[in-house]
Amino acid sequence: MSTILLAGGAGYIGSHTAVELLESGYDVVIADNFSNSCPESVKRVEQITGKSVKLYEVDIKDAAKLENVFSENSIDAVIHFAGLKAVGESVEKPVLYYRNNIDTTLSLLECMNKYGVKNIIFSSSATVYGEENPVPYTEEMKRGTCTNPYGWTKVMMEQILEDTAKADSSMSVVLLRYFNPIGAHESGMIGEDPQGIPNNLMPYVAQVAVGRRDHLTIFGNDYPTPDGTCRRDYIHVVDLAKGHVKAVEYVMKNKGVEVFNLGTGTPYSVTEIVTAFEKANDIKIKYEYGQRRAGDLPESYANADKALKVLGWKTEKNLEDMCRDLWNWQRNNPQGYNK
């Protein structure tokens, strides 16, 4: 069976993807520096699947150290999750973000070139559609103007990967544009474990539910949307992880560059999703309305037709599943992986 290297695979999406790959019969190697994760997530992946994962603690920016991973394993494809992802922090520390996100990509491409690895899947984001494109977003739309350095790193990395594939016709690149992954594995053993105050909506809601935060502030209720709060395309992280398994099959059979949205195609507002969490789990979430957050778009959601047509992938879980599984993870792990 093929061996897949998950760069940044100890993180939220990587750990869920590792489970789905192992359960589909792939061998998994993870390289991570644990800057936003911990080895415990990988142990839990092994417990869920009953299979072992080869784990390397390495800063992927360091191509010389990363080479060790390539020399010790026969890698068939790389999934590149490794990146910093906090939008607000990227505005305050742009150089850190450009350095980390671009350099991890370049190191991986250099090692792949040296060891003849031709297949790479990249964790891109809906953020690359920018401010100009109308919703729902389709893959052939031009990348737009981002509102923060994090988004620009995704735009730049997509360009780097496209240029690399253009120069080497034996390469296969899949750019996956994620929408808003939430929820957790149904075992409640792995999930999202943000450091400090969560930037994203659902980890914040879960921490209010478990008593770590007093209340949620909903950023703005005067947007041009049905209830005035922003609408997003929330996708269950296990559905997203399964999309990676399909992308692995695809990347190994094809050449060139292909882009896929991974979303449900259905937007929900902040108020709707908070209400859905309350209903699914029979819990009250204290919230208040506050100011808009800088850089937020009123709406972001996918047209998910291409992934269905080309990869044969579509989401299977609904909003209730997302809310229930998120709470199951948070309730079982009130302090995340720190117990």
Which does residue 61 bind out of ligand UFG, ligand NAD, none, counting CB within 5 to 8 angstroms by kind? Answer: ligand NAD
Taking the C-alpha atoms of residue 16 and residue 26, their distance in angstroms, rounded to an integer, is: 14
Taking the C-alpha atoms of residue 323 and residue 202, their distance in angstroms, rounded to an integer, is: 9
Out of 293, 306, 314, 331, which residue is the one contacting ligand UFG (CB under 6 A)? 293
- To ligand UFG, the closest distance from the beta carbon of 129 in angstroms equals 9
Looking at residues 55 to 114 of the shown chain, list those that interact with ligand UFG (rule: CB under 6 A): 85, 87
Which does residue 293 bind out of ligand NAD, ligand UFG, none, counting CB within 5 to 8 angstroms by kind? Answer: ligand UFG
Q: What is the 3-state secondary structure (H, E, C) of 33-90?
A: CCCCCCHHHHHHHHHHHCCCCEEEECCCCCHHHHHHHHHHCCCCEEEECCCCCCHHHH
Binding mask 36-75 for ligand NAD (x = CB under 6 A): xx---------------------xxx--------------
Q: Are the CB atoms for 6 and 13 separated by under 8 Å?
A: no
Nearest CB to ligand UFG, comparing residues 101 and 127: 127
Looking at residues 155 to 184 of the shown chain, list those that interact with ligand UFG (rule: CB under 6 A): 178-180
- To ligand NAD, the closest distance from the beta carbon of 101 in angstroms equals 7
Out of 82, 128, 205, 218, which residue is the one contacting ligand NAD (CB under 6 A)? 82
User: Per rule CB under 6 A, is residue 250 in the interface with ligand UFG?
Assistant: no
User: Per rule CB under 6 A, is residue 300 in the interface with ligand NAD?
Assistant: no
Token pair 């041009």 is at which residue?
224
Please state the separation of Cα 145 from the chain's center in Å. Answer: 20
Known catalytic residue at 129: no
Among residues 129, 137, 150, 301, the one annotated as catalytic is: 150
Radius of gyration of the chain (CA): 19
Taking the C-alpha atoms of residue 147 and residue 162, their distance in angstroms, rounded to an integer, is: 22
Q: Is 124 helix (H, G, I), strand (E, B) or coil?
A: strand
* Active site members: 150
